[in-house]
Amino acid sequence: MQNAKDSFYMALRTRLAALNPERTILLRGTVRPGIFVEEAEAPFGQLPNDVFILRWLGLGVDVNLGSQMAAEECEILYQSVGTQSFGGLDRGRLLSEMDEEVTAILQPYYTPKMNYISQPPAAYLTQVFWEEAAFSPVVTLRDKLSRTVKVTVYSYQEQGE
């Protein structure tokens, strides 16, 4: 399932960079699109604001099919405290912008499955696909608004994976 997870992340990252090149994050000394996989980065004392954080929650496998299909639930977390120039009063507006961005980068609901270990990345024969997003209610914690979106990602396991 790792290749499917990587392919999903890279698709969202590429789509976000095209949709909103201003949404970036500085990680390990490099400015990147404002999306990252939590398990692939060093732990944060406090999660960053105004970026998308992907968390992989659980894996399921259906072995009753002709090919083995795996599914894993991905949680996309994002939060905002607003901007200093507006005293944080624009945090709802910024969270709404992120709602629209996550909806846009999830479409279409598929991407080619790639092996990103090899350079250049090698394509597999199948696609990674996912369901429509399920948005949680907004959570308010002092000056911060946050939301999570859950998406189930599917992939057929191919030979050599």
Which tens digit of pLDDT belongs to each residue from 8-28? 999 999 999 999 999 999 988
Quote the distance between the C-alpha of residue 9 and its chain's center. Answer: 6
Q: Average pLDDT over the chain, rounded to whole? A: 92
Amino acid at 26: L
| CA within 13 Å, CB half, 101 | 28
Domains of the chain: 2-156 (3.30.2000.30)
State the pLDDT confidence band at 65, using cuts at 50, 70 and 90: low
Nearest to 5 by CA among 134, 111, 103: 111
Quote the distance between the C-alpha of residue 10 and its chain's center. Answer: 9
Nearest to 125 by CA among 67, 72, 85: 67
Cα(71)–Cα(53) distance, integer angstroms: 19
Q: Would you list the DSSP string of 14-79? A: HHHHHH-TT-EEEETTEEEESEEEGGGSPPPSSPPSSSEEEEEEEEEEE-SSSS-EEEEEEEEEEE
Encode pLDDT of 76-110 as tens digits.
999 999 878 777 778 889 999 999 999 999 999 99
- pLDDT attached to residue 89: 76
Residues 6+ apart with CB under 8 A from 30: none
Nearest to 56 by CA among 161, 157, 160, 150: 150
